[in-house]
Chain A
Amino acid sequence: MQKGGFNFDLYQRNVELIEKNNYKVPKTTKTGTTIVGVVFSDGVVLGADTRATSGPIVADPNCEKIHRISDYIWCAGAGTAADTENTTGMISLQLELLSLSTGRSPRVRTALTLLKNFLFRYHGYISAALVLGGVDFTGPHLHMIHPHGSTSTLPYISMGSGSLAAMAVLETGYNSKMGEEDAKSLVHQAILSGILNDLGSGGNVDLCVIKHKSMEFFRNIDTTNSKRKFRKKLPYMFKSGSTKILEKEIKEKMEKMEIVNEKENEIEELEEL
């Protein structure tokens, strides 16, 4: 078993499948996305939209893009949905084992290193663009991780197809003296800007506020963009007599039944042999 490095064993076979066997490459579910992170005086706020697209179709109108790495370290992900979910899931497990073996609470910086080293090994083929934020015993941290494995540390970040629309809001609204409510409002407006102006983003706004030993997850804090305008009141009740009866036919139920003792026949067959 090859240790470390890159394993491209299946490359030849994949190329042949596509060229000779007319193999239809399965469509990846992408999260055409707006994800945002902002550092404020007491911690970090992460925000995300909830639309998952498969080409031009909305595959999931209300998916969760903010993933848990540890109790106070969370990660929003853009790119291929499977890649973001499984990558963050794997690193979450690795981080827990690490924190148990070291006897220390996990650091954001550790999650960052685990994620970037993992993604770099795959040279960008794992399409996961992440906004990693959290508060550990060294303070609040916010990082952006690109699919190729490069990272940046900044006070405000946006990623995904709606990142330009969100960044415009962040650049005009950010100031270093922000408190929790200002930061939440800024992240909310930034995600909304992505949802309204980017076609790859949509649905509801999810928010995650992380402070020292505290985490609040606001799932679907804003649903104004996904409320159906015209909806019949549930439950569906049709009054008796609403459907007109055209014909009536009454059939008698059969009362006669014949009981066959199957077991007796089996024993008879065996005796014959």
Chain B
Amino acid sequence: MQPKKKTLRPIVTGSSVLGIKYKDGVILASDTLGSYGSLARFRDIRRIVPITKHTVIGGTGEFSDFQEITKILRQKIIENQELVESGKEEDELLPSEIHSYLSRVLYGRRNKFNPLWNDVVVAGFEKGKVHMGTVDLWGSYFEDDIIATGYGTYFALPLMRKAYKKDMERDKALEVLRDCLTVLFYRDCRTINRYVFAEITKEGVNITDPVEIETKWEIADWQEGKL
């Protein structure tokens, strides 16, 4: 009998990815942890990667599958590049096209009962506007101005929905993301206090180096019964 060669369960996992649109573009954020169950195994992985000059993807879930997705998409870009150079295609693949292609790949895999166990955020700049959306391991395609995956849907989405305003300022968007990441650090066991931000504007993609965010621990001083 042949051994099972299909994805059974995620092994090395990444937690939430958050994304929010603002006046000049979009910002994605995630932490840099690859968990091995309850072990904080890989403390400096990149779960947000650039695909083209104007597109970025972020991944929650099985990290090896996310690396595979990155490979598949970058291969697609190279193929498209060859077509552009030979004059058969107009231009570089747009973020919405990458997003659409990825959703077909993931849906096809789910139909074969061998999913790429991820929840991917695709974000980019095209035709003067931001495109942002998500695709998950079942192939569900979704576009929105605020995106959160993993535990972020429960903790970050309520906060982002309250704070989001169309064409908000960059500082406000960063503040909202920092608040959400902090809450996730307090309440999601599979996170660390080390984050990466990816900003996409009409100029292109800018992914920061890992930073730490201050956390409040004043409740440690709280004493029961004191008025």
B146 to nearest A CB, angstroms? 12
A154-172 contacts to B (CB < 8 Å)? 154-156, 164-165, 167-169, 171-172
* Residue B161 at the chain A interface, CB threshold 8 Å: yes
Q: Give the residues in chain B near A196, CB-CB below 8 Å.
A: 158, 161
Least Cβ–Cβ distance between B225 and chain A, in angstroms? 4
- Are B158's CB and A171's CB within 8 A? no
A55 within 8 A of B: no
Q: Does A193 contact B (CB under 8 A)?
A: yes
Output the nearest chain B residue to A211 by Cβ-Cβ distance. B227
Report Cα–Cα, A153/B151, bound state, in Å: 25
Cβ contact within 8 Å between A167 and B225: no
Residue of B154, B162, B227 with highest tally of chain A CB at under 10 A: B227
Which residues of A have CB within 8 Å of B225?
138-141
On chain B, the residues within 8 Å of A138 by CB distance are 225
Q: Cβ of B182: which chain A residues have Cβ within 8 Å of it?
A: 171-172
Contact at A172–B158, with CB atoms within 8 Å?
no
Tell me, in angstroms, the Cα distance from A75 to B166 when the chains sit together: 40
CB of B155 within 8 A of CB of A167, answer yes
| Interface residue A67 (Cβ < 8 Å from any Cβ of B) | no
A153 touches B158 (CB 8 A): no
| B155/A168 in contact, CB under 8 A | yes
Asked if B171 is an interface residue, CB under 8 A from chain A, the answer is no
Is the CB–CB distance between A165 and B158 below 8 Å?
Answer: yes
In angstroms, Cα B157 to Cα A141, docked, is 31
Chain B: residues with Cβ within 8 Å of the partner, total of 23
Which B residues between 127 and 147 are near A, CB-CB below 8 angstroms?
Answer: none
Chain B proximity mask over A112-149: 1 for CB below 8 Å, otherwise 0: 00000000000000000000000000111100000000
Is there a chain B Cβ closer than 8 Å to A14's Cβ? no
Asked whether any CB of chain B lies closer than 8 Å to the CB of A41, the reply is yes
Closest partner residue, chain A, to B156 (CB atom): A168
**Is the C-beta of B5 less than 8 angstroms from some C-beta in chain A?**
no
Closest chain-A Cβ to B178's Cβ sits at a distance in Å of 10
- Chain A residue numbers with a CB within 8 Å of B161 are 196-197
Chain B min CB distance to A209 (Å): 14
Chain B residues near A168 (CB-CB < 8 A): 154-156, 158-159, 180, 183, 187
Which of A41, A141, A155, A197 contacts B158 (CB under 8 A)? A197
Binary interface profile of A, 189-212, with partner B (CB < 8 Å = 1, else 0)? 100010011000000000000001
Listed residue (A39, A153, A164) with the most chain B CB atoms within 10 angstroms of its CB: A164
Q: Is B219 an interface residue (CB 8 A)?
A: yes
* Cβ–Cβ contact B221 & A176, under 8 A: yes
A169 touches B159 (CB 8 A): yes
Q: Mark B53-95, 1 if CB is under 8 A from A, else 0.
A: 0000000000000000000000000000000000000000000
A138-B225, A139-B227, A168-B155 given; 6 more Cβ-contact pairs under 8 Å: A141-B224, A154-B219, A167-B187, A168-B159, A172-B179, A197-B157
Where the two chains meet, the residues of A that have a C-beta atom closer than 8 Å to any C-beta of B are 39, 41-43, 138-141, 153-156, 164-165, 167-169, 171-172, 174-176, 189, 193, 196-197, 212
Q: Which 3 A-B pairs have the closest CB atoms?
A: A139-B225, A164-B154, A165-B158
- List 29 A-B residue pairs with CB atoms under 8 Å apart, sorted by A's residue number: A41-B227, A138-B225, A139-B226, A140-B227, A141-B225, A154-B219, A154-B222, A155-B222, A156-B219, A164-B187, A165-B158, A167-B187, A168-B156, A168-B180, A169-B162, A171-B182, A171-B183, A172-B182, A172-B183, A175-B218, A176-B218, A176-B219, A176-B222, A189-B162, A193-B158, A193-B159, A196-B158, A197-B157, A212-B227
